[in-house]
Structure 1
């Protein structure tokens, strides 16, 4: 399982509109092959800051399957205009601590 983590900064005053748009766009990502789950967290300390966590079966499910799909263009159209600055996406894998 791969965890995609994205820190998002939404333009001031557009938070409610963003959350509504994200709720609608969630169906897009949830329909993708290899998608497992996602969650959007709102920061308590900084207005307009969010953390998006998406779980994928493989890295390629996100970087190829989703990002190179027609669905990704719909996702971008619905959400990318809210961000300033544009976010960086990082991917993580679980550390098996039982090996230590």
Structure 2
């Protein structure tokens, strides 16, 4: 399984609207994507305009090809993109270790 981590910065004062938009986008679009296995969204405490979006994919290609090159990606960006202050920083990770 692959972990996608997106470090998202939104425009100040848009937290409440973005909270609703990201949840809608995850439920209506990303959760239906090929290889999707789950997600977590962490909301900044010290930086209220910062979010960490973690999406679990079966393979790297499920995100980089199957999702990113599909019409669903355009749908996703239409929902959350208007809130971005800067483009999200996105990286992928393999699990090394975890607690029980």
Structure 1 length-normalised TM: 0.92
SS in 2 for 1:4: strand
Q: Which residue of 2 aligns with 1:25?
A: 25
C-alpha offsets along residues 10-49 of structure 1, whole Å, 9 cap, x if unaligned? 1001110001111111120000110000111101111211
Residue 40 of structure 2 aligns with which residue? 39
Indicate yes or no: 2:84 matched with 1:83. Answer: yes
Counterpart secondary structure, 1:75: helix
Q: CA-atom RMSD, angstroms?
A: 1.3
Off by >2 Å, runs of 4+ in structure 1: none
Kindly provide the CA deviation profile for residues 34-77 of structure 1, in whole angstroms up to 9, marking residues without a partner as x: 00001111011112111000000000000001001111110011
Residue number in structure 2 paired with 1:52? 53
TM-score, normalization by structure 2:
0.92
| Structure 1 SS opposite 2:20 | helix
Question: Offset at 1:2?
Answer: 0.3
The count of aligned residue pairs is 97
